[in-house]
Structure 1
């Protein structure tokens, strides 16, 4: 990922949003959402080497199952955060809160099997 590319894209996007705001105010939320999605796509592509490295390291350590849950939880958190910020940019704070709540519930549901294993291990240790 080239941070200068991200900064340049952000500045050009800012100019576009300011221009759209002056010409057609009603298109600003759509413009901001589209720019956010484009930037997110670029950032996700840039993350693939990092995820590959972390996945290989997790496989070598023998913690692949736990690691996959961790990566999925991180993906849920990031996706919900980006979506909530786009909702806030469009003036929909209530919807943003619901997206964040859905993400938290999703992470809890995702982590239930690990919690179950942890409780079984604790039960075995106490016996």
Structure 2
């Protein structure tokens, strides 16, 4: 089971980080950061498989691919921003981590505007004209 590998790597890295932190704090941070990056890369294959299934479903349902592509990009932005913010927070830089999270939210909003526009236009077209 992959979760056992992930938890095992996390526990080993945590123990090593705690031991190293006393002598070399910078090495402890580097170890923690590389562990996070390794785990992220480990999961990219899983994320890719989910993306392909969702794209296949969108194609079969007749949803234009631009919408599904945009939604997947939004999800990607959210995960990457959160991951980056956590690494920066681990380094003790909460202020910078907050800025990364804010930037992620702004980019998500920018990506969502075309979808929101289409939803509003669709609702307006469903409403009866003039009162």
Residues 47-126 of structure 1 correspond to what in structure 2 (within 5 A)?
47-63=47-63, 64-126=65-127
Corresponding position of 1:22: 22
Of 76-85 and 4-13, the range deviating more from structure 2:
4-13
Corresponding position of 1:35: 35
Residue 82 of structure 1 deviates from its aligned partner by: 0.8
Residue 20 of structure 1 deviates from its aligned partner by: 1.7
The separation in 1 between residues aligned to 2:122 and 2:31, in whole angstroms, is 51
Residue 7 of structure 1 deviates from its aligned partner by: 1.3
Residue 5 of structure 1 deviates from its aligned partner by: 1.1
Corresponding position of 2:46: 46
Of 66-75 and 24-33, the range deviating more from structure 2:
24-33
The separation in 1 between residues aligned to 2:124 and 2:85, in whole angstroms, is 39
Q: Which runs of 4+ in 1 moved over 4 A?
A: none
Residue 19 of structure 1 deviates from its aligned partner by: 2.6
Give me the CA root mean square deviation: 1.6
Instruction: Count how many residue pairs are aligned between Structure 1 and Structure 2.
Output: 127
Residues 17, 29 of structure 2: 8 Å contact kept: no
Structure 1 residues not aligned, in runs of 5+:
none
Residue 47 of structure 1 deviates from its aligned partner by: 2.2
TM-score relative to the length of structure 2: 0.87
Structure 2 residues not aligned, in runs of 5+:
none
The separation in 1 between residues aligned to 2:89 and 2:125, in whole angstroms, is 47
Higher relative CO (CA 8 A, sep ≥ 6), structure 1 or 2?
1
Of 11-20 and 105-114, the range deviating more from structure 2:
11-20
- Indicate the SS of the match to 2:10: helix
Residue 124 of structure 1 deviates from its aligned partner by: 2.5
